[in-house]
Protein backbone atom coordinates (compact mmCIF):
# COMPACT_ATOMS: atom_id res chain seq x y z
CA UNK A 1 0.00 0.00 0.00
CA UNK A 2 1.52 3.31 -1.06
CA UNK A 3 0.32 6.57 0.42
CA UNK A 4 1.86 10.00 0.41
CA UNK A 5 1.68 12.00 3.60
CA UNK A 6 3.75 14.54 5.48
CA UNK A 7 5.64 13.63 8.62
CA UNK A 8 7.20 16.05 11.03
CA UNK A 9 9.66 13.45 12.30
CA UNK A 10 11.38 10.54 10.62
CA UNK A 11 14.01 8.08 11.77
CA UNK A 12 15.87 5.94 9.24
CA UNK A 13 15.24 2.26 9.89
CA UNK A 14 16.09 -1.07 8.23
CA UNK A 15 12.96 -0.73 6.04
CA UNK A 16 14.00 2.62 4.53
CA UNK A 17 14.66 2.27 0.79
CA UNK A 18 15.62 5.80 -0.25
CA UNK A 19 15.69 9.46 0.74
CA UNK A 20 15.02 11.54 -2.37
CA UNK A 21 15.75 15.26 -2.47
CA UNK A 22 12.90 17.39 -3.76
CA UNK A 23 11.93 21.06 -3.69
CA UNK A 24 8.95 22.40 -1.76
CA UNK A 25 6.58 25.03 -3.13
CA UNK A 26 8.74 27.71 -1.52
CA UNK A 27 11.88 26.17 -3.09
CA UNK A 28 13.23 24.64 0.14
CA UNK A 29 14.95 21.24 0.01
CA UNK A 30 12.67 18.55 1.44
CA UNK A 31 12.86 14.76 1.38
CA UNK A 32 10.57 12.15 -0.08
CA UNK A 33 11.06 9.01 1.97
CA UNK A 34 10.51 5.62 0.38
CA UNK A 35 9.92 2.91 2.95
CA UNK A 36 8.98 -0.66 2.07
CA UNK A 37 5.29 0.12 1.60
CA UNK A 38 4.84 3.85 2.26
CA UNK A 39 6.04 7.14 0.83
CA UNK A 40 6.00 10.38 2.76
CA UNK A 41 7.50 13.85 2.82
CA UNK A 42 9.70 15.29 5.58
CA UNK A 43 10.52 19.01 5.79
CA UNK A 44 14.25 18.36 6.11
CA UNK A 45 16.95 17.72 3.54
CA UNK A 46 18.25 14.18 2.99
CA UNK A 47 21.59 15.43 4.37
CA UNK A 48 19.93 16.45 7.66
CA UNK A 49 18.07 13.14 7.98
CA UNK A 50 21.20 11.08 7.28
CA UNK A 51 23.25 13.16 9.74
CA UNK A 52 20.59 12.71 12.45
CA UNK A 53 20.55 8.95 11.84
CA UNK A 54 24.33 8.77 12.16
CA UNK A 55 24.15 10.73 15.42
CA UNK A 56 21.52 8.33 16.74
CA UNK A 57 24.15 5.59 16.37
CA UNK A 58 26.95 7.59 18.00
CA UNK A 59 28.63 9.48 15.18
CA UNK A 60 27.81 12.08 12.54
CA UNK A 61 27.70 12.03 8.75
CA UNK A 62 31.16 13.58 8.68
CA UNK A 63 32.45 10.96 11.12
CA UNK A 64 30.96 8.13 9.06
CA UNK A 65 32.50 9.57 5.88
CA UNK A 66 35.91 9.78 7.55
CA UNK A 67 35.55 6.19 8.75
CA UNK A 68 34.69 5.02 5.24
CA UNK A 69 37.74 6.81 3.87
CA UNK A 70 40.00 5.22 6.51
CA UNK A 71 38.65 1.72 5.83
CA UNK A 72 38.27 1.78 2.04
CA UNK A 73 40.09 4.83 0.68
CA UNK A 74 36.84 6.12 -0.83
CA UNK A 75 36.81 9.89 -0.38
CA UNK A 76 34.18 11.27 -2.81
CA UNK A 77 30.46 10.48 -2.78
CA UNK A 78 31.33 8.30 0.18
CA UNK A 79 28.99 5.44 1.07
CA UNK A 80 28.30 5.14 4.78
CA UNK A 81 27.21 2.63 7.35
CA UNK A 82 24.55 4.08 9.60
CA UNK A 83 24.39 0.81 11.54
CA UNK A 84 26.25 -2.24 10.19
CA UNK A 85 24.55 -4.62 12.63
CA UNK A 86 21.17 -3.97 11.01
CA UNK A 87 22.51 -3.66 7.46
CA UNK A 88 21.84 0.06 7.08
CA UNK A 89 24.32 1.11 4.40
CA UNK A 90 23.49 4.14 2.25
CA UNK A 91 25.19 5.84 -0.67
CA UNK A 92 24.73 9.37 -2.03
CA UNK A 93 23.73 9.97 -5.65
CA UNK A 94 25.90 13.10 -5.93
CA UNK A 95 28.11 15.07 -3.57
CA UNK A 96 26.29 15.22 -0.22
CA UNK A 97 26.84 18.99 -0.26
CA UNK A 98 24.73 19.26 -3.42
CA UNK A 99 21.09 20.07 -2.51
CA UNK A 100 19.98 17.56 -5.19
CA UNK A 101 21.78 14.73 -3.39
CA UNK A 102 19.59 11.74 -2.55
CA UNK A 103 20.57 8.67 -0.52
CA UNK A 104 19.84 5.06 -1.46
CA UNK A 105 19.80 2.03 0.87
CA UNK A 106 22.26 -0.47 -0.61
CA UNK A 107 20.72 -3.54 1.06
CA UNK A 108 17.38 -3.15 -0.69
CA UNK A 109 18.58 -2.84 -4.30
CA UNK A 110 17.66 -5.73 -6.56
CA UNK A 111 18.25 -4.38 -10.06
CA UNK A 112 19.36 -1.29 -11.99
CA UNK A 113 17.95 -0.36 -15.39
CA UNK A 114 19.46 2.18 -17.75
CA UNK A 115 16.62 4.33 -19.09
CA UNK A 116 18.49 7.08 -20.99
CA UNK A 117 21.94 8.67 -20.77
CA UNK A 118 21.12 10.39 -17.49
CA UNK A 119 18.20 8.43 -16.08
CA UNK A 120 18.28 5.20 -14.11
CA UNK A 121 15.60 3.04 -12.59
CA UNK A 122 16.34 1.31 -9.29
CA UNK A 123 14.19 -1.72 -8.57
CA UNK A 124 14.15 -2.76 -4.94
CA UNK A 125 13.84 -6.31 -3.63
CA UNK A 126 10.19 -5.70 -2.72
CA UNK A 127 9.53 -4.76 -6.41
CA UNK A 128 9.08 -1.05 -5.70
CA UNK A 129 11.06 1.19 -8.02
CA UNK A 130 12.25 4.77 -8.38
CA UNK A 131 13.55 6.67 -11.38
CA UNK A 132 16.45 9.04 -10.86
CA UNK A 133 17.98 11.75 -12.99
CA UNK A 134 21.40 10.14 -12.49
CA UNK A 135 23.36 8.17 -15.08
CA UNK A 136 23.39 4.38 -14.95
CA UNK A 137 27.20 4.40 -14.69
CA UNK A 138 27.16 6.70 -11.68
CA UNK A 139 24.60 4.57 -9.81
CA UNK A 140 26.36 1.33 -10.74
CA UNK A 141 29.67 2.76 -9.50
CA UNK A 142 28.06 3.80 -6.19
CA UNK A 143 26.51 0.34 -5.74
CA UNK A 144 29.89 -1.31 -6.35
CA UNK A 145 31.78 1.08 -4.07
CA UNK A 146 29.24 0.48 -1.30
CA UNK A 147 29.62 -3.29 -1.75
CA UNK A 148 33.41 -2.93 -1.47
CA UNK A 149 33.08 -0.81 1.67
CA UNK A 150 30.61 -3.29 3.22
CA UNK A 151 33.00 -6.16 2.57
CA UNK A 152 35.97 -4.32 4.10
CA UNK A 153 34.01 -3.17 7.15
CA UNK A 154 32.50 -6.62 7.68
CA UNK A 155 35.95 -8.20 7.45
CA UNK A 156 37.29 -5.72 10.02
CA UNK A 157 34.36 -6.31 12.40
CA UNK A 158 34.77 -10.10 12.17
CA UNK A 159 38.48 -9.76 12.90
CA UNK A 160 37.75 -7.62 15.95
CA UNK A 161 35.16 -10.15 17.16
CA UNK A 162 37.76 -12.93 16.97
CA UNK A 163 40.17 -10.80 19.00
CA UNK A 164 37.48 -10.04 21.54
CA UNK A 165 37.41 -13.69 22.60
CA UNK A 166 41.10 -13.46 23.48
CA UNK A 167 41.22 -10.05 25.15
CA UNK A 168 38.27 -8.42 26.89
CA UNK A 169 38.40 -4.76 27.92
CA UNK A 170 35.46 -5.23 30.28
CA UNK A 171 33.95 -8.47 31.48
CA UNK A 172 30.57 -9.20 29.91
CA UNK A 173 29.00 -9.79 33.33
CA UNK A 174 30.07 -8.87 36.83
CA UNK A 175 30.68 -11.60 39.37
CA UNK A 176 30.37 -10.46 42.96
CA UNK A 177 31.36 -13.77 44.54
Q: Where are the domains of the chain?
A: 4-160
Q: Would you place residue 163 in the very low, low, confident or very high pLDDT band (cuts 50, 70, 90)?
A: confident
The confidence score (pLDDT) of residue 130 equals 96
Q: Give CB contacts under 8 A, 24+ apart, made by 102-108.
A: 102/18, 102/19, 102/20, 102/21, 102/46, 102/132, 103/18, 103/19, 103/46, 103/50, 104/17, 104/18, 104/139, 104/142, 105/16, 105/17, 105/18, 106/79, 106/143, 106/146, 106/147, 106/150, 107/14, 108/17
Indicate whether 52 pLDDT > 70.
Answer: yes
Average pLDDT score, the chain? 89
| pTM: predicted TM-score of the whole model, two decimal places | 0.87
For range 125-133, the mean pLDDT: 96
User: How large a percentage of the chain has pLDDT more than 70?
Assistant: 87
Amino acid sequence: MKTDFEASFFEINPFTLALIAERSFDNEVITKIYDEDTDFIVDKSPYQIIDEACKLFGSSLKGRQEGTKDISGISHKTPISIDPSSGMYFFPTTSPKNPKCSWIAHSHIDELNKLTNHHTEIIFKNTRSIKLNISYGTILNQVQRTAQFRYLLDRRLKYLQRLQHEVVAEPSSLDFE
